Amino acid sequence: MHNKLVLIVEDEEDILELLEYTLQKESYDTIGFLNVNEKLEKVLDEESIDLILMDRNLPGIDGTEFINNIRKKGHNCPVIYLTAKDKDEDILEGFESHADDYITKPFNIKELLARIKAVIKRSSKDINILKVRDITYKASNKKFYIDSNEIELTHLEHDLLLEFIKNKDILMSREHLLEAVWEDSYDKKLKTVNVAIKRLKAKIDPHNEKEYIKSIRGEGYLFC
């Protein structure tokens, strides 16, 4: 099982370093940012984030505004605000802006770790969102979306795309896909895999611009 990945956005460098050091000692993986930028949004699109630890007093933007923006784009990982904004109305605003917890500075590091553990444990009981690049899968309704637009898929195409997303960046042979996706079907032919993937590509990348699925000659397919 991989370490839980915590994204930290904190504009005070010494606090950011302390948080990263402390969390890494507790076997978390961390990615730290001092401000909100394009690289941060790219990380959200490409990585499977288990928790966001978010300051509110950031250069040019309030952390709640950033979280509200990414929620609209389909990012649903849990959020803890770690901030000096400690008035009642600030805390209320934080919880109205998708907070799973709200911790004010100065903070006790042991209490912070306990709350991080609790939020991740609580949220991991209901992992029903998978996201790779701009494709989102919601297990609650078994549907895929590209930039919040639903993709119309057959049952087979649904299972095929789900297998790809669960195995992002892993080379999968046609034989593996037959066993994992087709299971007990009588139509178990390697050629069937090629045809199904061609149909799936046409639905998720009709203009052939994004190259989600790469064919590796003689090896199989890679979803990236």
For the cut 70, the answer to whether the pLDDT of residue 185 exceeds it is: no
Q: Which of 40, 99, 105 is nearest to 64 (CA)?
A: 99
Task: Provide DSSP, 1-40.
Answer: -PPPEEEEE-S-HHHHHHHHHHHHHTT-EEEEESS--HHH
Cα dihedral angle (54, 150, 39, 105), rounded to 10 degrees?
A: 0
Angle (deg, nearest 10), helices 13-25 and 109-124: 60
pLDDT at 67: 93
- Say how far apart CA 130 and CA 98 lie, in whole Å: 18
For the cut 60, the answer to whether the pLDDT of residue 47 exceeds it is: yes
pLDDT at 127: 53
- CB-CB neighbours of 217 under 10 Å: 5
- pLDDT greater at residue 217 or residue 10: 10
All domains in the chain, ordered by first residue: 5-126 (3.40.50.2300), 130-223 (1.10.10.10)
| Tokens standing for residue 178 | 């037959």
pLDDT per position as a tens digit, 120-150: 888 765 556 778 888 888 876 778 898 878 8
Q: What is the mean pLDDT of residues 3-14?
A: 94
**The overall pTM is greater than 0.75:** no
- Say how far apart CA 193 and CA 189 lie, in whole Å: 7
For the cut 60, the answer to whether the pLDDT of residue 186 exceeds it is: no
